Structure 1
Amino acid sequence: MDKKNALRAGALAAGTTLMMLLMSSPALALTRDDGDDPGKGLSVIQTLGLYVLIPLALFAVIAGLVMALDKSKIRTVKPTATGAKAKADAKA
């Protein structure tokens, strides 16, 4: 695809996105419905814990379990003759 077509596609995507944002309404977010009982909000610490710390902890636990229960063999690299010679030269 040449530059002109790429520019045209980008402009079309940007225009479509802009029109969708302008035409969407806030869905009457400020008007309360019957039976609406929102409760109290979360503090900054609670929000960070809920949306940052808990997912990171879950990721760490799952990654740790995967690594601990991995049954594949660990491949070790055997030194070659040139590798052994390079190590001997480095020591001297």
Structure 2
Amino acid sequence: MDKKNALRAGALVAGTTLMMLLMSSPASALTRDDGDDPGTGLSVIETLGLFVVAPLVLFGVIAGLVMVLDKSKEEHRVTSRNIRTKPTEAEAKAGSKA
């Protein structure tokens, strides 16, 4: 029953998207507006630098700053070194008293 509902939802979304695309008017990108003064276009290298390299560098800088300036305590970090499967003596005593 779930597959049938998913198929219906997918068909509805696809049909709606197709109808929106077919009924929408062109963007009129070739028609100039009054006062429109576009600059020169970007080269391929400039485009890749602006939309690919710059975000990756920005992400790397932010991630690096977060890792370097991390002030959390070692015992609060989840690592394979501090995962205990057996209770400590203090926990075992507290559990037996309760």
Q: Which residue of 1 aligns with 2:88?
A: none
In structure 2, distance between residues paired with 1:56 and 1:41 = 23
The superposition leaves residues 30-52 of structure 1 with CA deviations (integer Å, 9 ceiling, x where unpaired) of 11111111111000000011001
In structure 1, distance between residues paired with 2:58 and 2:6 = 41
**Match for 2:58: what amino acid?**
L
TM-score (norm 1): 0.75
Give the C-alpha shift of residue 3 in structure 1.
2.2
Question: How many residue pairs are counted as aligned between the two chains?
Answer: 78
Q: Which residue of 2 aligns with 1:54?
A: 54
In structure 2, distance between residues paired with 1:13 and 1:70 = 44
Q: Which residue of 1 aligns with 2:34?
A: 34
Unaligned runs of 5+ in 2: 83-98
Higher relative contact order (CA 8 A, sep 6+): 2
Unaligned runs of 5+ in 1: 79-92
Q: Which residue of 1 aligns with 2:5?
A: 5
The superposition leaves residues 9-50 of structure 1 with CA deviations (integer Å, 9 ceiling, x where unpaired) of 111110001111111222211111111111110000000110
TM-score (norm 2): 0.71
